[in-house]
Chains A and B, each alone.
Chain A
Amino acid sequence: MPIQRTQREIRQRAPAWLVALLALSFAMATFSARDQATQERKIRVWAQAAAMPVQSLFSGASGGVGGLFQYLGNMRRAAGENETLRQRLAETEARLRETEAARAENERLRGLLDLREGKEFGAVAARVVARDPSQWFDSAIINRGSSSGIEVNMPVVTSEGVVGRVAAVSPVSAQVMLLTDERAAAGAAVGQLGGGGTANSLGSVRGFGANGLLDMRYVSGLDQLPPVGTPVLTTGQDGIYPAGLKLGEVVEAKAGTATTSHEIRVRPSARLNSLSEVAVLLYRPPPRAVPTPTPSPSTQQRNESKGK
């Protein structure tokens, strides 16, 4: 028989419940904060893995309903767009032929120079199933995890450019820290890598708060100021992203001086506000060479005398 409690009794017990729940929340928050140094939050990983099936189910269902409405809306515009698309198709086919020729030429030249293809790593396609529900942070949850070979710090990209990097992994999901996050950074170069075109300026990009732009730092004020629209690419020196991925385009540039760096704002190429499908690059940066100290002549003499 269920125990019947009066409203007064329930009210008397409320402070105890309050203390218990607040203590539990605080303990979890503290535990979560402590583990941040290692970049792995075990409790979050477990919680995400447990919540993933429900989230995927709802995400799929909401995607289906949303897709239906989108489809109905798009039908109205489809007729007008059809003609435009036909013209574009013809143009694209012409461009494709040119690209094929350029690619064939490129491959021949690569073979001549005995350069290795830069595709030493695979990619895992993933769907964004959830975004950070809090307005205070911005991250994305994808439906692939360590069971698909994804590890912490692997780069996440779309066909348009870099999205961010994997911040935490569970067996069936992963949390992606977006490029616009102030805690994320990437080594960047303005202009084309490998010479040609504009002169390269090296620096690093990081999130610039809530406006969705990136701040490019440490670009020497003595370098040529890049014009608006110049592409910004990864350099591969940060140990996270491979070289040559598109980060974004310069939208604002203020000239620095001999002692101050340029102020450059970059708009990310990937549409971070509406991510649906992404690819996680299974890229592991090459290990950095550790410099071996060369003994000075005096040290050598001392060692020799000790040996004797």
Chain B
Amino acid sequence: MKFKIAIVVALAVVLQTTLRNLPGVGQWLVHVDLPLVVATYFALRRDVVGAMLAGFAAGLATDVFSSGLLGANAFSKTLVGYLIAALATRVSLDNPVVRIPVIAGAAALDAVVFVMLHRILGQPPLAPFAEATAYKLIGTTVAGTFIFYLLDIFFSDRARQRRHFAFRRRAARRSTLVRR
């Protein structure tokens, strides 16, 4: 499972760095924060430490290719991962409709922490704060909702049960054939 999570995080960062250069749509895709979506998804699985590590890894990998401060995305995404995971252990956030404001909140919090950290260290980002945050909130929420459905196929409890029962069915079928 941890290997799968690492692959998804790596894929999100690679797509984020590559899609921006696509002619035409690249300038819009930059407003979708794929590493944040992935970190938020794993935070909703109530594994607090796992969520923080996923957020930290995704953020740090993003920082490596960014011209901002190294560690700023790691900081914001770790914090977002912790807060959402902590919230998910207290309140049920499994409903797909409830996830939408969670993604939006995560996007807004991530932007605020990221920009604040840069301002504290004397390196204000280039994009205007209100405009960039609004675009990020919309883009990440819309794309995140669909990506969550996609990730559910591989990581949800139902998918895990399905795989588990498929294995048991195969085992049962094999044993019936052996008996015959």
Contacts and interface: CB of A to CB of B under 8 A. Distances in A.
Interface in B77-126: 78-79, 82, 85-86, 89, 114-115, 117-118, 121-123, 125-126
Contacts of A276: 21
A268 interface: no
Nearest to A140: B21
A47 interface: yes
Interface string A1-24: 000000000110110011001101
Interface of A: 10-11, 13-14, 17-18, 21-22, 24-33, 36, 41, 43-44, 47-48, 51, 54-55, 58-59, 62, 66, 128, 130-141, 167, 175, 177, 181-183, 207, 209-210, 271, 273-276
Interface in B1-35: 10, 13-18, 20-24, 26-27, 30-31, 33, 35
A64 to B, nearest CB: 12
B48 A10 contact: yes
User: Which of A18, A28, A31 has the most CB atoms of chain B within a 10 A radius of its CB?
Assistant: A18
B59 interface: yes
Contacts, number: 179
Q: What secondary structure prevails in chain A residues at the interface with B? A: helix
Contacts of B35: 133
B61 interface: yes
A141 B13 CA distance: 14
A137 B68 CA distance: 7
A207 B131 CA distance: 17
A132 B49 contact: no
Interface of B: 10, 13-18, 20-24, 26-27, 30-31, 33, 35, 47-49, 52-53, 56, 59-75, 78-79, 82, 85-86, 89, 114-115, 117-118, 121-123, 125-128, 131-132, 135-136
CB-based closest 7 A-B pairs:
A28-B71, A136-B125, A25-B75, A274-B23, A29-B71, A130-B17, A133-B16
Contacts of B122: 33
A18 B21 contact: no
Contact of B67 (A17, A137, A210, A273): A137
Given A32-B70, A44-B70, A137-B67, 10 more contacts: A17-B52, A43-B70, A55-B17, A131-B20, A131-B65, A132-B65, A134-B62, A134-B68, A137-B127, A141-B65
Contacts of A136: 66, 68, 114-115, 118, 125-127, 132
B78 A209 contact: no
B136 to A, nearest CB: 6
Contacts of B53: 17, 21
B26 A274 contact: yes
Contacts of A18: 52, 78-79, 82
Contacts of A41: 70
A165 B136 CA distance: 28
Given A210-B131, A274-B26, A133 B13 contact: yes
Contacts of B85: 14
A167 B18 contact: no
Given A128-B21, A181-B126, A51 B61 contact: yes
B135 A135 contact: yes
A41 B124 CA distance: 17
A206 B61 CA distance: 29
B50 to A, nearest CB: 9
B17 A131 contact: yes
User: Which of A55, A134, A138, A271 has the most CB atoms of chain B within a 10 A radius of its CB?
Assistant: A134
27 contacts: A10-B49, A11-B89, A14-B82, A18-B79, A21-B52, A25-B71, A25-B74, A28-B71, A48-B64, A58-B18, A130-B21, A131-B21, A133-B17, A133-B20, A135-B33, A135-B127, A136-B125, A137-B126, A137-B127, A141-B17, A207-B126, A209-B128, A210-B132, A274-B21, A274-B22, A274-B24, A276-B21
A133 B75 contact: no
A260 B20 CA distance: 38
B107 to A, nearest CB: 11
Given A137-B66, A167-B67, A274-B26, A14 B48 contact: yes
A273 B27 contact: yes
